[in-house]
């Protein structure tokens, strides 16, 4: 290949599987000449690509990795020559705790390899064995592919969609794509489905938030409460359950937590393994068996009550339900939390010894930590989202908040929450939404099949048409489709019939890979009449389609300001033109709308220029937390409006569009004690009469009849009004292990991926291999050493992985990091890719939350016929039968 890399040779190069390895190295090559660097805004520390001409420019590339939470979207600066991205750098501005750099992690820095991966879908394709009259669905995932034209593909898709709407109606179509209004990944093709009459979505309950939403809402009257980063530093003790921000978010959260520690705070992390955050920052790591935090909390609270260490004045003033004297009106006094803790009526005191038998934390450690909490003036209580992804996860949520209430919250340094940190700043117009001349806000057609909800769960009180409910929960989606029914017998009208004939998989969602019981998902994909997908990459969900369409990435769309409320608004340049035949979803939606007899403008109501304009005009920034005051962020001149060729009004803001584009982002300017300082529940604590909590009682509810009633009404698992230890489903969760499946599985995040995104990047595969993490105790009992190939088995599937034996994992549990792309060996049915959802139990709990932590598994040394290559040597999955 010539040293001079043109766009044409670049595209051709990227079609080869070997290109993934080559492209992964583009950020670490020979130094560029200093005069060239000065022309392109570089430094002498930059590295140039061999043959680089030095006539390129630095652009701002969107990093749309969903790194567990919005805190961690970061700045990418991309050096581009002749339309080819060659190098990446990240934020290099002055770094301070008040205005930290938005530095990208390895996932962000690998985006050239991601965007140009051989896993890109290059052009429309059809399975060779598929035709409208003979779908041959059993060949999905096995068949060869053939290239077809865009017109052919769109004609096929429109005809099959119209057939489904005509013959079976909108409830016959599953939209396996993001569908929430406000989601930055909102898919205009979903808008198309909604305009056509709607579709079924698998978004009942939560896929990320565990059991927290209803717990927080009904116990505190608020939602998504947490201190801001500067307020966090006021705490003297940070008592954290399941915190691994260094891998989950990998942005500034670890920096800010470390700063809080440097200000004198002590950090304790309770987790099944010595994770990256605990190893790097924590003062103490407390190993615990997955899914048993509830028992640990109960043991600590027992010790506090036994020794009168609780803040009784706070409990009496601000809470209901702690003891018999402070129960809400109409509640049985015997149902108070204190008597449950002491075993007054059930005869079982929840002592630290009782807790030790369940969670494995020594009783002496439990007592010591309970005393430390009680004796520390300012405590920050935090629990990660996954801590309630367990059977009856609400019980840990209630126990966690009760523990915090027994200490006292709502004053400087005393905090409780599961988001970690509250960040202020911005609201911007979502990418796909239509503009309105008055306020820049937009609307797309809303799914007519979606009835009212309370924090992601059905609001039965406001659903007049009980048959209208068409939200299948994430966890049980695949099995429900196979069974032809979903929901619970306790729902109004009972279970709902489910007859899916068509699946659309798109909107940046890799559902087949991401939902539990993936083997059942494969059966679903092979059962229905038609499956089509639209995505940039040939991932698992697209590999089991009949027709796939190539979608442009964010780097190929760009030209928009965007924010995820992380104290930063970013600019996204168009880094490169769409590779191969990729198109943006807006164009695809318009083309399909025309074929389906719809007005294309009903599904794509803005031009690209209008979308750019409204991303500026719709951006506002908070100026005062106390009054929730906002003002425009951008200064927009008439010249700006004329340059875009749109209608609009000039406005005055904090930064000009030109300056914003040059910098690539706008950051919140913070200082200690400023108007954006945020301390949850401050007003309620200052005057609980004038500012009551938005709960049934107006106080914090340790006893919450509302929470119990709402969750129990869903029929997944009934919960009591106060926190109790409950054994989970007989087939999952701590306390239900069997001889056949004695180990508990949990699925931490990996720096290799953001959920399933980036698993096609070879350099990240090499740096972070997908391994079965297991304790030395469990490995030695099975004759397993690090590097051995092991077979992980559950009642739902089998996965082959290399073992990683560690002394820093609690015995009795194994971990498999989330998001690895499925790669099924058809002869044995074993997954060689390492997707934990092959193993995960498909059973929702409580408020239809996924109770994935605690799936029962067995791990054995593998001596079968399959050979497992290192992840870095595993070839990228390509469509078989396509001639390059």
| Measured distance CA(616)–CA(183) in Å, rounded | 18
Closest CA to 237 of 408, 381, 401, 411: 381
| Measured distance CA(397)–CA(847) in Å, rounded | 12
Q: Where are the beta strands (DSSP E) in 573-701?
A: 620-624, 629-632, 634-635, 655-656, 665-667, 700-701
- Are 414 and 290 contained in the same domain? yes
pLDDT of residue 368: 98
pLDDT of residue 450: 84
pLDDT of residue 540: 94
Could you report the per-residue pLDDT of 644-700, keeping only the tens digit for each?
999 999 999 999 999 999 999 999 889 999 999 999 999 999 999 999 999 999 999
Provide the residue range defining the domain that includes 77: 7-115
What's the first-to-final CA gap in the chain, in angstroms? Answer: 17
CATH of the domain at 385: 3.40.228.10
Which of 80, 96, 115 is where one domain is finished? Answer: 115
| Measured distance CA(688)–CA(163) in Å, rounded | 59
- Are 787 and 692 contained in the same domain? no
Query: Three-state DSSP class for 178?
Result: coil
Residue 812 lies in a domain: yes
Residues 6+ apart with CB under 8 A from 105: 67, 72, 74, 250, 251, 751
- Are 691 and 777 contained in the same domain? no
- Are 692 and 765 contained in the same domain? no
| Measured distance CA(231)–CA(224) in Å, rounded | 16
- Are 345 and 251 contained in the same domain? yes
- Are 308 and 374 contained in the same domain? yes
- Are 691 and 793 contained in the same domain? no
CATH of the domain at 859: 2.40.40.20
Which of 82, 100, 115 is where one domain is finished? Answer: 115
Contact status, residue 102 vs residue 568, Cβ threshold 8 Å: yes
Residue 237 lies in a domain: yes
| Measured distance CA(417)–CA(321) in Å, rounded | 20
CA distances from 614 to 554, 644, 854 (A): 18, 11, 45
pLDDT of residue 63: 86
Q: Cα-flanking dihedrals φ and ψ of residue 641, to 5°?
A: -65, -45
pLDDT of residue 420: 82
| Measured distance CA(394)–CA(77) in Å, rounded | 42
Closest CA to 680 of 625, 611, 757, 599: 625
Residue 731 lies in a domain: no
For strands 568-572 and 560-563, give the pairing. antiparallel
DSSP bridge pairs for 744? 813, 856
Could you report the per-residue pLDDT of 82-94, keeping only the tens digit for each?
999 999 999 999 9
- Are 415 and 349 contained in the same domain? yes
CA distances from 276 to 244, 250, 269, 428, 808 (A): 6, 10, 11, 33, 11
- Are 105 and 248 contained in the same domain? no
- Are 800 and 692 contained in the same domain? no
The domain total for the chain is 3
Residue 869 lies in a domain: yes
Residue 102 lies in a domain: yes
- Are 253 and 363 contained in the same domain? yes
| Measured distance CA(388)–CA(397) in Å, rounded | 7
Burial class for 576, CB neighbours closer than 10 Å (0-12, 13-18, 19+): buried
pLDDT of residue 80: 96
Residue 776 lies in a domain: yes
pLDDT of residue 827: 95
Residue 299 lies in a domain: yes
What the block records as the tokens of 65 is: 């990795």
- Are 109 and 234 contained in the same domain? no
pLDDT of residue 72: 57
| Measured distance CA(30)–CA(161) in Å, rounded | 52
% helix, strand, coil for the chain, step of 5? 30, 20, 50
CA distances from 167 to 170, 341, 500, 525 (A): 9, 57, 12, 20
Closest CA to 432 of 277, 605, 566: 605
Exposure pattern of 482-497 as b/e (b: 16+ CB <10 Å)?
beeebbeeebeeebbe
Which of 98, 115, 132 is where one domain is finished? Answer: 115
Provide the H-helix boundaries in 436-557: 477-483, 511-514, 518-527, 540-543, 554-557
Regions of the chain with pLDDT less than 50: 1-5, 7-10, 13-46, 69-70, 180-185, 429-444
| Measured distance CA(292)–CA(431) in Å, rounded | 41
Residue 775 lies in a domain: yes
């Amino acid at each position: 290949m010539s040293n001079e890399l043109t766009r044409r040779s670049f595209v051709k190069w990227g079609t080869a599987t070997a290109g993934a390895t080559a492209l992964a190295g583009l950020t670490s090559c020979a130094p560029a000449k200093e005069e060239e660097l000065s022309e392109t805004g570089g430094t002498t520390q930059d590295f140039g690509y061999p043959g680089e001409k030095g006539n390129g420019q630095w652009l701002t590339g969107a990093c749309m990795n969903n790194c567990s939470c919005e805190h961690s979207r970061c700045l990418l600066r991309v050096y581009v020559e002749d339309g080819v991205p060659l190098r990446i750098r990240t934020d290099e501005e002055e770094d301070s705790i008040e205005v930290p750099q938005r530095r990208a992690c390895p996932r962000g820095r690998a985006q050239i390899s991601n965007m140009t991966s051989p896993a890109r879908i290059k052009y429309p394709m059809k399975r060779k064995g598929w035709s409208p009259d003979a779908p041959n669905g059993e060949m999905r995932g096995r068949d060869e592919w053939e290239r077809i034209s865009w017109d052919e593909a769109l004609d096929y898709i429109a005809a099959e969609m119209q057939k489904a709407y005509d013959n079976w109606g909108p409830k016959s179509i599953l939209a396996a794509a993001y569908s929430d209004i406000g989601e930055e990944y909102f898919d205009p093709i979903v808008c198309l489905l909604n305009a056509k009459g709607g579709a079924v979505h698998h978004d009942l309950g939560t896929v990320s938030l565990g059991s927290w939403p209803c717990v927080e809402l009904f116990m505190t009257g608020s939602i998504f409460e947490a201190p801001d980063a500067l307020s966090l530093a006021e705490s003297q003790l940070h008592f954290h359950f399941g915190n691994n921000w260094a891998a989950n978010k990998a942005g500034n959260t670890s920096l800010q937590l470390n700063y809080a520690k440097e200000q004198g705070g002590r950090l304790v992390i309770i987790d099944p393994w010595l994770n990256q955050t605990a190893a790097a920052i924590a003062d103490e790591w407390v190993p615990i068996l997955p899914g048993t935090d509830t028992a640990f909390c109960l043991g600590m609270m027992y010790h506090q009550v036994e020794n009168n260490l609780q803040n009784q004045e706070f409990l009496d003033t601000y809470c209901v339900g702690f003891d018999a004297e402070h129960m809400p009106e109409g509640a049985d006094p015997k149902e108070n939390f204190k008597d449950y803790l002491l075993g007054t009526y059930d005869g079982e005191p929840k002592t630290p010894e009782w807790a030790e038998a369940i969670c494995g934390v020594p009783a002496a450690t439990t007592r010591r930590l309970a005393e430390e909490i009680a004796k520390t003036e300012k405590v920050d209580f935090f629990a990660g989202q996954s801590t309630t992804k367990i059977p009856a996860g609400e019980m840990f949520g209630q126990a966690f908040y009760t523990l915090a209430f027994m200490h006292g919250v709502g004053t400087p340094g005393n905090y409780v929450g599961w988001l970690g940190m509250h960040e202020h700043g911005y609201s911007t117009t979502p990418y796909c939404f239509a503009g309105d001349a008055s306020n820049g806000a937009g609307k797309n057609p809303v799914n007519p099949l979606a009835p009212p909800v309370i924090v992601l769960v059905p609001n039965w009180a406001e659903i007049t048409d009980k048959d209208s409910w068409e939200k299948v929960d994430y966890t049980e989606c695949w099995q429900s489709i196979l069974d032809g029914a979903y929901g619970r017998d306790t729902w109004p009208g009972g279970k709902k019939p489910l007859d899916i004939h068509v699946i659309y998989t798109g909107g940046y969602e890799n559902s087949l890979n991401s939902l539990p019981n993936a083997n059942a998902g494969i059966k679903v994909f092979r059962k229905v009449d038609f499956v089509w997908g639209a995505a940039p990459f040939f991932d698992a969900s697209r590999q089991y389609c009949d027709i796939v369409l190539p979608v442009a990435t964010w780097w190929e769309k760009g030209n928009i300001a965007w924010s995820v409320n992380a104290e930063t608004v970013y600019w996204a340049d168009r880094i490169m033109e769409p590779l191969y035949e990729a198109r943006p979803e807006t164009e695809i939606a318009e083309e399909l709308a025309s074929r389906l007899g719809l007005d294309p403008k009903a599904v794509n109501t803005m031009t690209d220029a209008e979308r750019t304009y409204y991303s500026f005009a719709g951006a506002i920034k908070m100026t005062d937390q106390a009054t929730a005051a906002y003002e425009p962020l951008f200064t927009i001149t008439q010249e700006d409006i004329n340059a875009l060729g749109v209608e609009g009004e000039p406005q005055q803001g904090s930064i000009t569009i030109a300056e914003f584009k040059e910098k690539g982002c706008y950051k919140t300017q913070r200082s200690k004690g400023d108007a954006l300082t945020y301390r949850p529940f401050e007003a309620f604590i200052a005057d609980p009469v004038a500012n009551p909590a938005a709960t049934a009682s107006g106080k914090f509810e340790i006893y919450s009849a509302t929470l119990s009633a709402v969750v129990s009404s869903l029929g997944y698992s009934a919960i009591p009004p106060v926190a109790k230890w409950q054994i989970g489903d007989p087939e999952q969760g701590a306390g239900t292990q069997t001889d056949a499946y004695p180990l508990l599985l949990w699925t931490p995040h990996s720096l290799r991926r953001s959920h399933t995104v980036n698993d096609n990047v070879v350099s990240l595969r090499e740096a972070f291999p997908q391994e079965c993490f297991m304790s030395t105790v469990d490995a030695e009992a099975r004759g397993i050493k690090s590097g051995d190939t092991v077979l992980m088995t559950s009642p739902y599937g089998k996965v082959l992985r290399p073992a990683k034996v560690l002394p820093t994992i609690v015995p009795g549990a194994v971990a498999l990091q989330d998001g690895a792309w499925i790669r099924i060996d058809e002869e044995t049915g074993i997954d060689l890719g390492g997707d934990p959802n092959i193993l995960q139990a498909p059973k929702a709990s409580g408020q239809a939350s996924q109770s994935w932590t605690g799936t029962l598994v067995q791990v054995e040394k593998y001596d079968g016929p399959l050979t497992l290559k290192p992840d870095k040597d595993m070839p990228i999955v390509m469509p078989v039968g396509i001639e390059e």
